[in-house]
Amino acid sequence: MPAMRAIDARPNGPHTITMAKYDTTELIREALDAGFSQAGELNLEALVFMPEVRDMCRADRCNQYGRNWRCPPACGSIEDAAERAAKYSYGLLVQTIGTMEDDFDYQAMLDTGEQHKRNFVDLIGALKTRYDDILPMGAGTCSICTACAYPDAPCRFPEKSYSSMEAYGLWVSRVCEISGIPYNNGKRTITYTSCYLLK
Ligand code: SF4
């Protein structure tokens, strides 16, 4: 766990009280209908943007650093990410949980990841029919195109593309913990987590 050196972007400071503007029960139901395994309200106290998480992106373990418009460095600075997120007053966390036959069941990991991506994009579409301005953050980089246009041409779908929670500098397990939602869901399971911020 990296030492905390974080940018606090909670709207109106650390003691904001979120008004009951959104029906969490209804949003959870909608997320489950979209195919997610579980969902819950994201505690805005968890929106702490950590340069250390960005540093992990730079280590390029996912082979996307510097290869996608929605990954660092092209997606902007950690300060930009915090400023963007600060406009939103409500968050929904969503998870897709897969079962693995053993600890090396890569097929189950891949299949669950693909299912999560489909669920994630479907719910973006559904939420956008009701809310003009949402901020989706995925479990991996934008993969709308087979090959990202970066850096040779502009993003092909700037209105649809999305960054990962990690690209925003969010420490996903901590976001889950603070929000009271398990990050791990048991032995021989794999969990993918994403979120949506609403104004
Ligand atoms: S929509 Fe296409 S071009 Fe834009 S970030 Fe996603 S993959 Fe890259």
Contacts of 137 (CB under 8 A, 6+ apart): 162, 163, 164, 165, 167, 168, 170, 194, 195, 196, 197
- The number of beta carbons lying within 10 Å of the beta carbon of residue 106 is 9
The pLDDT, as a whole number, for residue 63 is: 83
Q: For ligand 1, pick from 150, 162, 163, 164 the residue to mutate: most ligand atoms within 8 Å of CB.
A: 150
| Cβ(65)–Cβ(74) below 8 Å | no
Q: pLDDT by residue (tens digit) across 189-198?
A: 999 999 999 9
Query: For residue 5, is pLDDT > 70?
Result: no
Centre of ligand 1 to C-alpha 42, Å, is 26
The DSSP letter of residue 42 is P
Residue nearest to atom 3 of ligand 1 (CA): 155
Residue 94: pLDDT band with limits 50, 70, 90? very high
Contacts of 113 (CB under 8 A, 6+ apart): 139, 140, 192
Query: How many angstroms separate the CA atoms of 82 and 59, rounded?
Result: 21
The pLDDT, as a whole number, for residue 12 is: 47
Average pLDDT over residues 58-73: 88
Query: How many angstroms separate the CA atoms of 128 and 150, rounded?
Result: 26
Pocket of ligand 1 (CB under 6 A): 68-70, 142, 144-145, 148-150, 155-157, 161
The pLDDT, as a whole number, for residue 164 is: 95
